[in-house]
Structure 1
Amino acid sequence: MSRYFWMYYLLGLCSFTSQATLIPPPGFESLLEGQTEQIEVLLPGHSLGLFPVVVKPDTVQFMSPLMVLESSGLAALPAAERQKALAALSRPLLRNSNLVCGVSEAKDSSECGYVATDKEDVAVIFDENNGQLSLFLNRDWLPDEERRDKRWLTPTPEGVSAFIHRQTLYLSDDLHSRNMTLNGSGALGLGNGRYLGGNWAAIWNQSEHYNNSQTWFDNLFVRQDLGNQYYLQAGQMDQRNLSSATGGDFGFSLLPLSRFDGLRTGTTQAYVNHEVDQNATPVMVQVTRNARIDIYRGSELLGSQFLTPGMHTLDTHSLPPGSYPLALRVYEDGILRRTETQPFSKGGNSFSAQTQWFIQGGLEDTGDKASHYDGETVMAAGFQTGLRKNISLTEGISLAHEAWYSETRLNSQHAVLDGTLDLSAGILHGTDSTSGNIEQVTYNDGFSASLWRNHTESDACSGRHPQSVHASMTCQTSMNASLSVPVGNWYALLGYSTSRTEGRPVYRGYDDNSDKENVFWRQAYIPASHRESAQASATYSLNMAGMNINTHGEYGEPEMTE
């Protein structure tokens, strides 16, 4: 029983109406003015210590608000926010003693032990029996170690230079031929943020009347990382690193980007900490004791997380992309204490908040010294930025074979029903009349359905400019549709594809002396073709005594028309 209970009770008897002035009995006037006590102040997760507090019947007020501010870790706030926090800690605060967990009328209350700070920047719960004051602050003021300092990975001081490599070997042998293919990639550390990287391949074929062997490098370059967001590299490069963590998310499918010898610089994703999802709205929750947080989207349970007392940023790595409200059900001691609703938005891997870019230039390396294009100047540049949380724009330009090309792509990702809908579209335009477009729709919700279409064309198809189109371009239209469904231990796949290629004349260079100034051109013709195929397959997976057993059956009906 509080030593002030009967005094506060007498004060309550003196209240006449909500408009009346509180008049204490004679001799108890000092109670209305408040009593100064040493109260233990608790910030969820730890104790800040004892502080002088003026305790009144309805409010409490810190005598040393600046000391409370500094002990709460708010001294590092910007000046304007720090002044706002100090002013909030200086004014009288409602006691909210009815929200103390364990009080008979609040024992099973879903609101006990917590006060939201959405409207007020500072709130408290005064536990008079234990002489404790739980402090709740504007969540934007609190230092959040989960978001800060962990967006980028930092090499440890104990790290040393090393050679990391990987090789893949394929061998085949039959009555008529022997074949071997070796693919490898590796990186040799050269110091702080610097390494020598490369990709290589070797093939060997032997048959009764033919022998062939080749070895080549697709990439061989020296790279210097500039901090944890930028890089510069020089050497022989193709486009593969532009669609990887080392170079970004530039998944160009139409833009001509040939192998070259030269320089490339841009942004890198190599140091991104993927455990901290930068593409998602931070979801912060404050708990005063060990708690379980159930995360719901509508009536769908997305996951549960267990937290210790304090302010936490929830792990949103496994939450589905899209924009939707999250309902956070906070359970303490097995009792649902409260439910918070917070807006949430998350993009996919291509919707990074960081704008990405690259610039490259040099001389084309076709691997064929007799080629008319080997040694020609090539350049390219591109950028990617998020237009909204779930929409990204990618733009690229390139100079190849004395023509300029540009590709523009839009990628979008949305939460639809209980799944994720991915939309992608791109267009290509070249100064040599080359054009193209690509569209893709994919939906995942336990099952997966996708539709993909690609179309490219050029004046070369009509024979007007047979040498103008890029060597990798063809005049064709392709489409692919697939549906995959898991059924128990079975996984079924249905697919259909069609491709139509127009016939076109081409000119190929021919020169026995490898003299580019005297190349002879001979005409050839690529015939038109039309191909359709349908596929149905089923896979059964079984785990028995710690061993995985997989069986696979497939049926297809290809049809070729020329």
Structure 2
Amino acid sequence: MNRRFLLFSLFVSILSFSTSICASLRIPKGFEELAEGQTILSDVSIYGESLGIFKISVDLENIHFIEPNKIINAILKQYPDSHNLKGMLSKYFDGTFHRNSQLSCSSNGDQPGCDFIDTNNVDIIYDEDNARVNVFISDKYITSQKKDKTYYAVNAESHNAFIHQQNINFVADKNYQSASIQGNGTLGIIEDGYLNVDWNFQGQRSKSKRKNDIFVNNAYVRRDLFKRFYLQAGIMDSKDIFSNIGGNINLSQLPLGKIRGFRAGSTLAWVNVNKVNTGTPINIFLSHEARVDAYRGEQLLSSFYLKAGAQALDTRSLPQGSYTISLKVYENNQLVRTETVPYTGLGELTSRTLQWFIQGGVPDNEGYVGSKNDKHQDDKVFQAGIRLPVMNNVALTSGVAYFNSANFWESAIDWSHGFDMGWVDGVMTSRVSYLHGSEGSRGTIQQLNYNDGFSLSFYRSEMKATDCDNQGVNRYSINGCYKSTNIMLSVPLDNWYATLGFSTSMNKGRYITRQDMVDYDPNYSFGVPWETVYQSYSKSSTWQAGLTRTANISGLNITTSLNAFLRNDSSYNAQDKGMFVTLSLSTNTHDIEGNRGTFSASSNVQTSKRAGNAISYNIASSQYSDDTGENEKGISINGINTDTITSSLYGRAGGQYGAGAVTISDTLNKTGGGNIINGSGNYSSSFILDREGLTVGRWGDGTASSAITINVNQGDTSDSSKVNVSVDTSGQSEVKGNSRALFTVPGYRESQVNVDESTLASGGVSSEIKSGTGVRKIFMTPGKVYNRDVKIESHYTWMAHLLDETGNAVEEVIPLNVISWAPLGNGLVTFETTQKMKMLYVMKNNAYLQCGMKVSKMRDVIRYVGETTCKSINFASLPSAEKKQATIMTAKAKSNTSLTVMNN
């Protein structure tokens, strides 16, 4: 924040108090320029939604919009159908508005009712601490429905760009090396359409054998229609169908592989879930500002802080189900009444709307493991699915898939219910599905989840065919037959946490790579790791029970767990059973200089019928170089008994140009002799290409994405200042001056970007943001980029002892090339400049002095000069800028105007 503007704001606060006493405003000498007003760039918002950055003129009492038509058009775009809105806005925005800064939450300590003004037409609150204008319009011009939009609007300041993300991973030892690259590129082509390519490369090497593969998972063009439907064509896999981008349609067993063709369907990508009511409305009438606590029995569900009037409660956070809510109304922290209302939670919007898709084309066999064994390939496919809400908490999903060789259909019922029966007051969700194939395959899924302080989950799936051991005779029989069941119960017991779990799985006739086999399988060590092996039969089952307790003693986290297990595995001809006890300790450390670190230690004692007795241990320590949690270096040592010891060194770094990590470990095997050195690492980043050129930045999430760029403009180029930029969906970075930072964000998702001054100062230089600070919410479709310009100014803080040529202290001088000045007595001064300087120029009476500024040491942002000799010079020897300043100071002295220590 501009220091002059902070001084201006402080001065305004003092004057605001004085105006309540004096009828006329008297401006002290020296502040006339501030009283005339300043032109600044301000973030303007309406009901929490930003309209953009606009020029405003701000004086001590009022603000004036310099370009009123631009902000009027921005408001009309938010509320295009509002009655008589344009005429009213034109009438008032041509004039001035009272600042109303005393109503801003940042100015009055977040007092109840702040950041709100009741108006019959239009009014504003100017938040001077954040240079932000909040606009308020009467309900008679805009309805609450318009304020509470269900669908997002693309940020008007965004433009098309090509955005690419890349993630590189590698692992290597003397026997096996592997590297993979995941890439995703998105190009915006129209306002609601884009191109997307999703690909990956895998390279592997084992001794003298190599294998390289590259796959294109998606390469398609998409167009959205009316924010509710979409059209898509190209190479497509099925993952978008299962997300909000494609309607969130869950068909778990229906063969929906990659195809080359077209797709059309409904989409939930544009839905603003924060503005969608998820339950029956709850209204309450208040005569004063109040706190309203909502209870279900004795359970506090939520608290609301509301203004006077008819208020609708935000029910998004309330549990699903049908139950009674007690509303306790507190005024001035005193309970004034209790109201009882019925409530029904409707669940998420995705379960209450009709969703569908259809697609057709040619099945894509790229990467298909069993294709070499197929007797014939399918060359046509048509697939479709629909989810139909039957009731508020019941939905029916069905889908079909037609191939040349076989036809399939799957149907599923999803049911959820919130209980209100005494001690049973949790939420249960369940699903049952059935798959039918014309070639004889059948599949079922049963799923149940319940959470009520304790949690219970059950999942069972099964797929069977007429011949499980056919090795891929039909396209969708390559995984043969399988059956799996998983049950988990978790219960809190006072300070302990108990778990009981059971899992079993059976596979007949499937393909599996050797590296995915258990290490005691007889076929594990034969052949290269990536070789595909046909496994005719495998079965395993496990029971496990455990108790865990976590405690914190003086900052030391202590976790203790006791577990017992029973395992059966067809790859091993005997049952395995045993138990293990684990003790782990961890703590956070801070040194004298404020650096943060962690330390942990753990030990595990295990007894097993198969593996015998073993004691394993681990010790790890790490150090963080900043508060982002991304820049870390550490070491760990772990071992089993005295047979093997593994030591590892690792480092992670993240910032403006991506994030990476490297780990090097050495395993010493005393039993077999020798040691094995292993290395692994990764690097993730992104780049965009738009009308401003090529920019490298941070990785997003690997899906079709948008981007936010920050242009940091700095006048002084001798040192790079920094600003702190944080994006809620993409992390944070310290961005250098005169650079452009890139943050890749998920498409179809609202992101919040915050630009603030950096707390880091290197090389004795700090930064001050002149424009572009603050918070902004942005929604974009994939392939769009939003750019924000930030202007910063470097600030150098100096401390010097000024002496004349005879060694006496130089005092009572007027500086000519600083922005702030503080004499400390006996010639000792501190001052601030916006540039590095070699000479300090000062004026004493009608004489001029130049003082050399040679830095002896720096600490934080202070540049210590020490003793420096000031030599007399004549007016003609002053630099041009200092000559102008000296002329101004001389003129002010002659007019008896108080001299200031600030120049222009």
TM-score (ref. length: structure 1):
0.64
| Residue matched to 2:696 | none
1:386 is aligned, of 385, 389, 392, to 389
Distance 2:143 2:342 in 1: 19
Cross-structure match for 2:193: 194
Cα distance change of structure 1 residues 536 and 188 upon mapping to structure 2, 3 Å threshold:
farther
Aligned to 2:282: 283
Contact 1:491 1:540 in 2 (8 A): yes
Local SS of the residue matching 1:359 = strand
Alignment partner, residue 222 of structure 2: 223
1:118-197 to structure 2, matched below 5 A, reads: 145=144, 149-197=148-196
C-alpha distance in 1, partners of 2:315/2:555?
A: 32
Structure-1 separation of matches of 2:233 and 2:283: 44
1:497 aligns with 2:506: no
- Say yes or no: does 1:302 pair with 2:301: yes
Q: Does 1:433 align with 2:440?
A: yes
> Deviations along 1:230-274, whole A, 9 cap, x unmatched?
111111111100111211221211111111011111111111111
Output the CA distance in 1 between the equivalents of 2:350 and 2:188.
31
What secondary structure, in the 3-state scheme, does the structure 2 residue paired with 1:246 have?
Answer: helix
Identity of aligned residues (%): 35
Post-superposition Cα deviations, 1:283-334, rounded to whole Å, max 9, x if no partner, equal 2333232111111122221010101123333222221111222222222233
Aligned-residue offset at 1:386: 1.3
Q: Structure 1 residues 204, 216: CA separation in 2 closer, same or farther (over 3 Å shift)?
A: same
Q: Of the candidates 565, 569, 573, which is equivalent to residue 560 of structure 1? A: 569
Partner Cα separation in structure 1 for residue 432 and residue 438 of structure 2: 21
Q: How far off is 1:430 after superposition?
A: 1.6
Partner of 1:459: 466
Shift of the 159–469 alpha-carbon distance from structure 1 to 2, 3 Å rule, reads: closer
Counterparts in 2 of 1:544 and 1:240: CA distance versus 1, 3 Å: farther
Aligned to 2:425: 418
Q: What is the rounded CA distance, in whole Å, between the counterparts of 1:349 and 1:177 in structure 2?
A: 47
What is the DSSP-based 3-state SS (H/G/I as helix, E as strand, rest coil) of the residue aligned with 1:241?
A: helix
Deviation at 1:480, TM superposition (A): 0.6
Q: Match of 1:424, SS?
A: strand
TM-score, L = length of structure 2: 0.41
Letter of the 1:206 counterpart: R
In 2, the alpha carbon distance for the partners of 1:272 and 1:547 equals: 44
**CA apart distance, 1:150:** 1.8
Look up the match of 1:533: 542
Q: Give me the whole-angstrom Cα distance separating, in 1, the residues matched to 2:263 and 2:535.
A: 35
Contact kept in structure 1, 2:169 and 2:179, CA below 8 Å: yes
2-structure distance, mates of 1:168, 1:347? 40
Matched letter for residue 442 of structure 2: S
Kept in 2, the 8 Å contact 1:328–1:340? The answer is yes
Q: Distance in 1 between matches of 2:259 and 2:195?
A: 17
How far off is 1:479 after superposition? 0.6
State the match for 2:320 in structure 1. 321
CA contact (8 A) 2:179 2:203 kept: yes
- SS of the aligned residue for 2:159 comes to coil
Evaluate the alpha carbon distance shift between residue 401 and residue 279 of structure 1 in structure 2; reply closer, same or farther with a 3 A threshold. Answer: farther
Distance in 2 between residues matched to 1:556 and 1:147, nearest whole Å: 58
Contact 1:484–1:494 (Cα < 8 Å) also in 2: yes
Corresponding residue SS for 1:242 = helix
In the alignment, the residues of structure 1 paired with residue 561 and residue 209 of structure 2 have an alpha-carbon distance, to the nearest angstrom, of 36
Q: Which moved more, 1:236-245 or 1:148-157?
A: 148-157
Q: What is the CA-CA distance between 1:187 and the residue it aligns to? A: 2.7
The answer for the alignment partner of 1:398 in structure 2 is: 401
- 8 Å contact 2:166–2:181 — kept in the other structure? yes
Pair 217,536 (structure 1): closer, same or farther in 2 beyond 3 Å: farther
Amino acid at match of 1:475: C
Give SS of 1:275's match: helix
Displacement of 1:165 after TM fit? 4.6
Structure 1 runs not aligned, ≥5 long: 1-75, 78-140, 506-523
The residue aligned with 1:364 is: 363
Aligned residues: 405
Distance change in 2, residues 1:471/1:168 (3 Å): farther
Match of 2:816 in 1: none
CA distance in 2, matches of 1:540, 1:407: 44
Counterpart position of 1:23: none
- Give the counterpart letter for 1:435 in structure 2: R
In the alignment, the residues of structure 1 paired with residue 186 and residue 549 of structure 2 have an alpha-carbon distance, to the nearest angstrom, of 39
Q: RMSD over aligned Cα, in angstroms?
A: 3.5
- Give the deviation of 1:163 after TM superposition: 4.0
CA contact (8 A) 1:279 1:389 kept: no
The CA distance in 2 between the partners of 1:538 and 1:344, in whole Å, is 38
Deviates more, 1:223-232 or 1:528-537: 528-537
Instruction: State the AA in 2 paired with 1:478.
Output: S
Residue 154 of structure 1, CA deviation: 1.3
Judge conservation of contact 1:291–1:306 (CA < 8 Å) in 2: yes
Instruction: Structure 2 unaligned segments of length 5 or more: list them.
Output: 1-81, 84-139, 512-532, 572-904
Cα–Cα, structure 1 residues 287 and 449, in superposed 2: closer, same or farther, change >3 Å? same
Deviation at 1:281, TM superposition (A): 2.0
- Counterpart CA distance in 1 for 2:145 and 2:495 is 39
Write the letter of the residue equivalent to 1:219. Answer: N
Matched-pair contact (CA < 8 Å) for 2:358–2:385: yes
Task: Tell whether the 8 Å contact from 2:276 to 2:349 is kept in structure 1 after alignment.
Answer: no
Instruction: Tell me how far apart the structure 2 counterparts of residues 260 and 462 of structure 1 sit (CA, whole Å).
Output: 27
Q: Is the 8 A contact 2:204 2:212 kept in 1?
A: yes
CA contact (8 A) 2:182 2:199 kept: yes
| Contact kept? 1:347, 1:413, Cα under 8 Å | no
* Aligned equivalents of 2:146, 2:432: Cα separation in 1: 33
- Measured at CA, do residues 147 and 473 of structure 1 come closer, stay the same or move farther in structure 2, by a change above 3 Å? farther
